[in-house]
Structure 1
Amino acid sequence: MKTFKTMKASNLLGLLMTTAALLAAGCNKKLDLTPQSDYNTEDFYKTANDFRQAVFGAYGGLRSVHGFDYPMMMESLSDNVNTLQNTTNNPLARFGFTAGDDRILGVWSAYWTVINRTNNILDQIDGGDFPNELVRTIMRGETRFIRGYCYFQLGWIFGGMPIIDRRMSAEEIATIPRASQAETFAFAVADMAAGAEVLPEQQGGDNLGRVTKFAAKAILARVHLYGRDYESAKPLLEEILAYEGLTPYENYVDCFVNTRDNGSEHVFQIQYTSGLNSQGNPLVYSLVPENLRSELFPQGGRSTWIAVSNDLYESYDTADVRRDLTIQQGYASGNDVVDSLTLLYIKYAHGTVPPNKEDNDVNFSIVRITDVQLMYAEVLNELGYVADGEAFALLNGVRNRAGVDSLTVLDAPDQETFREAVFGERRLEFAGEALRWFDIVRQGPEKATEIMTAFLARAEEGGGQISFDAKYLLMPIPASELRTNPTLAQNPGY
């Protein structure tokens, strides 16, 4: 586990110690994120402890969506997943989904639930009974970050969102139209920047896993990077990389072992705890081979819920340790015979496993420090390619940990080839971590269509029988939401 340094200002330390006591989660390892959904918010949020419980409810909403619907949807859309063998998520993988898709609705509903919870908190926090203003300020910033993160996610998945920045009745919400995507991101940036200003550099003890200043700045940098605002992303990434408490693990596998959760590799993780009010992570069980029998995961898994593409597997160098730590051959259903045609994710099954398959203890990383390194390499390249410059060193640090030789100027002699190398490395480093689809989308409609069309033309992906349209770069607004709010406009093509 990460060891945290003492805060420099003694008066601030005293206030933060008070804050830690008030914000304690009641669990030595990870936060107890049991949502307080049964309370009447008009009467409930009065004391600092009341607001603490409400914030945990917001974290609980993130825990819910990142444990299943979100990673399932994002991986299935990308070229990481086989379109023909991906059984449960077949409509997403084959681009046959509609506005009535349950997975899409699940992601939409989960993020909006969290936004509603954060608005309830923010509307009442100024009137709450807090022992000092620092406690209130930090909790307000934390809540605004969570809300901003949700708007950022929704904006990239669905496009412009209605800006709901306070508690509203259902009738009032139904009158709010969609803002533009740019307006949605501007709102998200303002929220996350407000959080980054006041959040502590680290969270220790019972607060381990709560968002930090560096987590907020990492997501904020991601927003700017995705929007190609490299000048704004650069100082945020530099500050994170300069912090000595965030460094890559020596071994890649440790990034996905539950005993190394919340360590120096992880900038921001969604917290999961087995045996505590159904707060375990079901993703592991949903990804691994059905009849996998090993000491690491004796219960087996759901097999081809997510079948990995040959295109991803073949993209790894044979010396790359990430390949076999991320992907393995599956088993034919009902027996122990290896099915060499089926490739499945094994990434999250390297740690200890609880008796309940869907109650795994491994966290889900939103940002790892290698993500920050590769984002910074991308920023440096976009601001001006330098042969064998710092961007090369950052990229090669990630490659070398995986056992892969360094990229040279001969491999990437200009800005365009280095850009391709960064995106290629991101695919290999973060396979199964729900980042690939956004990395495709943010390259723009023309490039994204080129990538997906080439992928779908492969024989094992249907040989061109599945067509890709740029409309798929945004998911449809769920049909049920359109019925509830007639002012919402559907995305083009749906």
Structure 2
Amino acid sequence: MKIITKIVAVCCLWGLSSCDSYLDVNQPSIYTDQSLYKTPADCEASIAGVYSQLQTVYNRNYLEAIVLREDAIKNMNNNITRFTDTSTEKTWETAWKSLWVLVSRSNKILDNIDRVVFSDEDQKNHIKGEAYAMRGLAYLQFAWCWGGSPLITTDLSLAELRKVKRSSQEETYQQAIKDFELAYDLLPEKRSGTEVGRITKYAMAGMLGRTYLYMHNPAKAVEWLELIIAKEPALYKMADNYEDCFDDKFDNTSERVWEVQYMGDSTGKALGISQTFNSMLLASSINLEKDAPFLHNVTFKGPSGTAQVSESIWGEGVYEEGDIRRAATMVNNLYYDKDYQHADTYTARKFLKATQTKPGSYDEWGNNISILRYTDVKLMYAEALNEVGYAENITTILSIINEVRKRAGLEAIDATRLNSKQATFDYIVHERFIEFCYEGLRWPDLIRWGLAEEAMKKHFSLKNEGFNTATQTPMYAMEKRNLLAPIPQSEINAYGDGTIMWQNPEY
């Protein structure tokens, strides 16, 4: 059972009692923290509110913004895909604010939980660990995406908040590491029963591995990633089939280390994922391959536009012949309302397979969204091993790569193809592109590798991505400033002090 069932039951109470003070001017309330945190059940209700906010973060907020940056998304009439966005871009503002709600709700728990008497100390520790994990996730995103944020680790009034100076990227990363480490010490190894879907210890090991790679510290990444890999196959292993990584039938299984929980329903009353970069909307818009079995009969809403796939990934030579991930990731030959065929546009279909629960409408698909997949853990480990020592680690690296290739329907390769550290790095860069596109990893990967400008220059030189054939020049271009997202102008204005909250360069 998904934790979402608990979230639905308690979030209305939490929404009434919590004024996410990092966003709005506080209003008088009959509720106080002292009245809210009296029993373990109160703390469970509060952490459910944090899980609920995680759904908001990944439901057309943060995830949408960073996926639109990918070179796998077609250039459309969108400022983020064209890199023409400014500090007033609403998508970035919404993403920033939704992450701050995650911090705010986590801090409320951490400030108040120790006054509550628990008969089960493990229950208390697990809730604290979840709050640290959620806050750490928010600060990780603030670090790599915006280059740092104020570090708020206790619940503050709006006036107090406005006095906290923005921290550097390094300091923000360090806060994420601290939170993930605290969570690792407090969380259980695994979940069972009604707790399946809640965060675990080894999810934190994986996130620490990711954070250290973002910070260019592969040796520390290896240390943390080895902790989770040591639990294979008892707790984790790669899914047998690539599509199983995205099918709701396999939510919370061994591939899915940490997921955002969603619930589909056929009654029109479920809380489900809504239109994440329109892959879900696509399912309601078309009938694929004339009623393919993994699509359900939902109301026609009109063709999707914002899930279109870039030539950067559908173009010739990107996928090896026989790679099943291509068909699982994108599709053309779309049949709108069964009759209208449009064969020239590729559209994302990665999250369309819902076989467990029939959705009642286009925004009630029950597919979870992975924050961390085990395949990501394995490929991060291979990358980190290559960085710390190609020669002594190539056997392990090859084993991981061939495991991924086998699932993709490809033949194994040998060391002659990965005959140097650079060749191995280049292979992993491409492998991560086709394995994880549309999952929110491509853009931070390109940034940490120092390849973002090169990749986007190539992207915008393609005919279908805005290249002007008359002048033989691209119409759009990424600039160095785009390595960081803009701090929302509303935040800059609210602080009103450039020594406390300042804008990123050239915005």
Q: 1:340 aligned to 315, 338, 343, which one?
A: 343
Mean Cα deviation higher: 300-309 or 467-476: 300-309
Residue 52 of structure 2 aligns with which residue? 60
The answer to whether the 8 Å contact 1:79/1:455 transfers is yes
- Secondary structure at 1:466's aligned position in 2? coil
Write the mapping of 1:25-424 to structure 2, written as runs, cut at 5 A.
Answer: 27=5, 34=11, 36-39=14-17, 40-42=31-33, 43-83=35-75, 86-87=76-77, 90-243=78-231, 244-275=234-265, 278-282=270-274, 283=276, 284-288=279-283, 290-293=285-288, 294=291, 295=293, 296-299=295-298, 303-314=304-315, 315-329=318-332, 331=334, 336-352=339-355, 353-386=358-391, 388-424=394-430
How much does 1:334 deviate? 7.4
The answer to whether the 8 Å contact 1:203/1:210 transfers is yes
CA distance in 2, matches of 1:482, 1:176: 13
- Secondary structure at 2:418's aligned position in 1? coil
How much does 1:177 deviate? 1.5
How much does 1:227 deviate? 0.9
How much does 1:70 deviate? 2.4
CA distance in 2, matches of 1:94, 1:457: 13
CA distance in 2, matches of 1:289, 1:140: 39
1:316–1:34 CA distance, 2 compared to 1 (3 A):
farther
1:277–1:134 CA distance, 2 compared to 1 (3 A):
farther
- Secondary structure at 1:366's aligned position in 2? strand
User: Cα deviations across residues 184-242 of structure 1 (Å, max 9, x unaligned)?
Assistant: 01011001100001211111111111000011111111001111111111122112112
CA distance in 1, matches of 2:426, 2:211: 20
The answer to whether the 8 Å contact 1:288/1:345 transfers is no
> What letter matches 1:34 in structure 2?
C
1:435–1:297 CA distance, 2 compared to 1 (3 A):
farther
> What letter matches 1:492 in structure 2?
P
- Secondary structure at 2:371's aligned position in 1? strand
How much does 1:335 deviate? 7.3
User: Cα deviations across residues 296-332 of structure 1 (Å, max 9, x unaligned)?
Assistant: 1433565121211111123112300010011001648
How much does 1:250 deviate? 1.2
> What letter matches 1:380 in structure 2?
L
1:488–1:286 CA distance, 2 compared to 1 (3 A):
farther
How much does 1:146 deviate? 0.9
The answer to whether the 8 Å contact 2:83/2:478 transfers is yes
The answer to whether the 8 Å contact 2:165/2:501 transfers is yes
Query: Which stretches of structure 1, 4 residues or longer, exceed 6 Å deviation after superposition?
Result: 332-335
The answer to whether the 8 Å contact 1:160/1:183 transfers is yes
1:290–1:264 CA distance, 2 compared to 1 (3 A):
same
> What letter matches 1:262 in structure 2?
N
User: Cα deviations across residues 11-50 of structure 1 (Å, max 9, x unaligned)?
Assistant: xxxxxxxxxxxxx95849x986735111234221111110
The answer to whether the 8 Å contact 1:329/1:339 transfers is yes
CA distance in 2, matches of 1:420, 1:25: 39
Asked if 1:429 corresponds to 2:432, the answer is no
- Secondary structure at 1:491's aligned position in 2? coil
Structure 2 portions without partners, runs of 5+? 18-30, 468-473
What RMSD in Å do the two structures reach over aligned CA positions? 2.2
How much does 1:62 deviate? 0.6
Residue 20 of structure 1 aligns with which residue? none
1:31–1:322 CA distance, 2 compared to 1 (3 A):
farther
CA distance in 1, matches of 2:9, 2:47: 11
User: Cα deviations across residues 253-287 of structure 1 (Å, max 9, x unaligned)?
Assistant: 11111111000111110000134965201134235
The answer to whether the 8 Å contact 2:386/2:394 transfers is no
> What letter matches 2:409 in structure 1?
G
> What letter matches 1:285 in structure 2?
M
How much does 1:395 deviate? 1.2
The answer to whether the 8 Å contact 2:287/2:336 transfers is no
How much does 1:337 deviate? 3.5
Q: 1:449 aligned to 453, 464, 477, which one?
A: 453
CA distance in 2, matches of 1:330, 1:96: 31
**TM-score (ref. length: structure 2):** 0.87
User: Cα deviations across residues 33-87 of structure 1 (Å, max 9, x unaligned)?
Assistant: 735111234221111110111001011111112122223211210101111xx35
Structure 1 portions without partners, runs of 5+? 2-23
- Secondary structure at 2:103's aligned position in 1? helix
CA distance in 1, matches of 2:64, 2:135: 22
> What letter matches 2:173 in structure 1?
F
User: Cα deviations across residues 1-20 of structure 1 (Å, max 9, x unaligned)?
Assistant: 9xxxxxxxxxxxxxxxxxxx
CA distance in 2, matches of 1:99, 1:106: 12
1:41–1:404 CA distance, 2 compared to 1 (3 A):
farther
Paired residue total: 465
> What letter matches 2:287 in structure 1?
L
CA distance in 2, matches of 1:162, 1:249: 39
Report sequence identity in percent: 31
Residue 21 of structure 1 aligns with which residue? none
Asked if 1:489 corresponds to 2:466, the answer is no
